[in-house]
Structure 1
Amino acid sequence: MEVDVSADVEALYTDGITARKGAFTKEWADRLREDVDTAFAEARTRPGGAVGRGPNRYYVEIHPEQIRGFVELVDHPWVRSLCAAALGPDYRIVELGFDVPLEGAVNQPWHRDFPLPEETRRERRLTSLAFNVTTVDTAEDMGPFEIAPGTQWDDSPEFSNGMFPPKSHYDRYLGRAVRKYPQRGDISARTALTIHRGTRNESTKSRPVLVLGVDGPEANNGDRHDTAVTTAFWDSLSERVRKHLDCPRVSELVPVTQKHTIEGLVMGDA
């Protein structure tokens, strides 16, 4: 089943973000939380498993088999329809991971996740998407995600590494800033080029969020990631899922050593 996502595509090009409320059940989200907690505990036991994205804030990349709901996620009609409409029929799933802001996480600097691709700069065309799935009911004190709508097209030589605007630009982002409070079962999609940040977690709770990265034909974000599947898992997938899963098949999974570090996030911000 395909769904009408024309309004969502328009939102991606105007605001830089869109969402589907109640895409999954709360029980599905609770199972996701269990799997994320297990993967996070394992990743923190080895070098390069959990990468810092600021004080008390981590990112972990995982393999599809570590999430029981992986197929339901990537084969959800809204996800499939939005990927095809925004990126074309040959979109590729290249990343699966999660962010975990813990108690004491501070404001991140305003940033985008990678420099502006040439296709976007020249043609104002998006070439990748990031889907986010919360594992908790987000509250104000839990350090909600904050985004500055419409800033995906911002292009300035003042951006450090093409990703970090100088503090002299912050008033512009603060003036546009919108905080997001997703609940269990919700899913959002955004271009990772829209300027955003994680905010200060003043609660005693963590706020794990699953990240699904999808590339169009021109994008090369997959070069930063090491997603793999076992042959047995591959054989269990439908052809509809296989055609979009861009990763090697292996006899045995090796835990991912994260390659996509973002040095500018390590120290946090004000």
Structure 2
Amino acid sequence: MTAMNDKPAPSMSMSAEAAAPQAPDKPINATPYADPQYNVPTIMAALYGDGILGLKGAFSREWVAKLGEELAVLYTQALARPGGAVGRGTNRHYVEIHPEDISGFLDLITHPWVQTVCASVLGPNYKIVEIGFDVPNPGSKDQPWHRDFRAAEETLVDRRLNSLAFNLTTVDVEEDMGPFEIAPGTQWDDPSEYDHGMFPPTSLYSRYEALAQRKMPKMGDISVRSALTIHRGTANTSDKPRPVLVLGVDAPGAGHDEWHDLQFTRGYYAQLPQEVRDHLICRVVDELEPIVQGHTIEGLMMGDA
């Protein structure tokens, strides 16, 4: 006698339908520290490949305009203070500032793209170590090709990036304003013949000129790069300065905080979210103290290319 079953056996098509995954309502975040709107492999490929990556329209033009006004005041003050502005070549200066000097500091460091890039490349325990700005003024000349500091063993041997520099222009950059120029992929170049580990010999200039890309960002755009990627500022033949904000970020233990002096007053620091304080290497002080710039680049201060 054959046993009877009132229920039909499930078909293969029914099983397939039951097993089919449902489309999620929002992107699945497979990397918890990364914002799902940004692609981690794309970020990693850009910074380990070309050594530079940009995001257009990260901030509003109004936000950037206010930043530009604040930097103009800080620049005037720095020029009037002994050692307040460090030379980076003819008619060029770098000014390191206190985060509290600008109203948009928290907006900048909590932007989801900035956070995602830092965590993806440097690890979730990355540290903010520097904020300042560069000003290539009218009459500034081509800088020599250079790195911003010597490559560490992590990069030379382990082939790992342990620091990043974010740049945010306060003006719409035009061709005659001395655009930033970079030679993609050169963060991996052997520095054994470089002067001070930072300045390649002129015999290599043809290589960089063949690779060179000039960057002309607009107000609101932000970029990030390895400061080891060979680069230079070009001659500003216009009648306008080209200020650019700089944010320096390290992997844990990279050590670049030794060149900087990030300070916060106790009241300002106490108002920062704990998840922000976790990413700072800084001093907490009763009153902000003048910054003594520790990261001078002698080869840039001595002249231009």
Normalised by the shorter chain, which TM-score bucket?
over 0.9
Q: Is there any run of 5+ residues in structure 1 with no aligned partner, and where?
A: none
In structure 1, the partner of 2:180 is 145
> What's the CA shift for 1:47?
1.3
Deviation at 1:135, TM superposition (A): 0.3
Which secondary structure state, in structure 2, belongs to the residue aligned with residue 123 of structure 1?
A: coil
AA partner of residue 238 (structure 2):
S
- 1:227 and 2:254 matched: no
Secondary structure of the 1:44 match is: helix
Aligned to 1:55: 90
Q: Deviations over 1:222-253 (max 9, x none)?
A: 10001100011111111121110110100100
- In structure 1, the partner of 2:168 is 133
Residues 165 and 249 of structure 2 are in contact (CA less than 8 Å); yes or no, is this contact kept in structure 1?
Answer: yes
Q: CA deviation at 1:98?
A: 0.4
How far apart are the structure 1 equivalents of 2:230 and 2:191?
A: 13
The code of the aligned residue for 2:62 comes to E
Q: State the Cα distance separating 1:4 from its structure 2 match.
A: 2.8
CA offsets, 1:20-74, max 9 Å, x none?
A: 1100000011011011111111111111110000000000000100010000000
Q: CA RMSD in A?
A: 1.0
Q: Under a length normalisation based on structure 1, what TM-score does the superposition of the two structures give?
A: 0.98
**Match of residue 155 from structure 2:** 120
Code of the aligned partner of 1:171: S
Structure 2 alignment gaps of length 5 or more: 1-33
Aligned residue pairs, count: 270
Task: Determine if contact 1:4/1:81 at 8 Å carries over to the other structure.
Answer: no
Alignment of 1:30-69 (within 5 A): 30-69=65-104
Secondary structure of 1:204's partner?
A: coil
The residue number in structure 2 matching 1:7 is 42
Contact 1:54 1:265 in 2 (8 A): yes
- 8 Å Cα contact 1:138/1:207 also seen in 2: yes
Give the one of 74, 78, 86 matched to 2:109. 74
Q: Say whether residues 1:95 and 2:127 are aligned partners.
A: no
Distance in 2 (CA, whole Å) between partners of 1:181 and 1:131 is 15
Structure with bigger RCO (C-alpha 8 Å, 6+ apart): 1
Distance 2:253 2:189 in 1: 20
Q: For 2:103 and 2:304, how far apart are their aligned partners in 1? A: 35
Alignment-derived partner of residue 241 in structure 1: 276
Does the residue aligned with 2:120 lie in a helix, a strand or coil?
A: helix
Number of the residue aligned with 1:106: 141
Please give the alpha-carbon distance, in whole angstroms, between the structure 2 residues aligned to 1:211 and 1:40: 14
| Match for residue 243 of structure 2 among 208, 217, 224 | 208
- Between the aligned partners of 1:145 and 1:156, the Cα distance in structure 2 is 22
Task: Give the Cα separation in 2 of the matches to 1:21 and 1:94.
Answer: 24
Runs of 4+ deviating beyond 2 Å: 3-6, 267-270
Is this contact kept in 2: 1:151–1:194, CA < 8 A?
yes
Identity of aligned residues (%): 59
For the pair shown, the structure with the greater C-alpha radius of gyration is: 2
Distance 1:240 1:191 in 2: 24
3-state SS of the aligned residue for 2:80?
A: coil
Q: Is 1:182 matched up with 2:182?
A: no
Report if the CA contact (8 A) 1:136-1:184 is conserved: yes
Cα offset for 1:156?
3.3
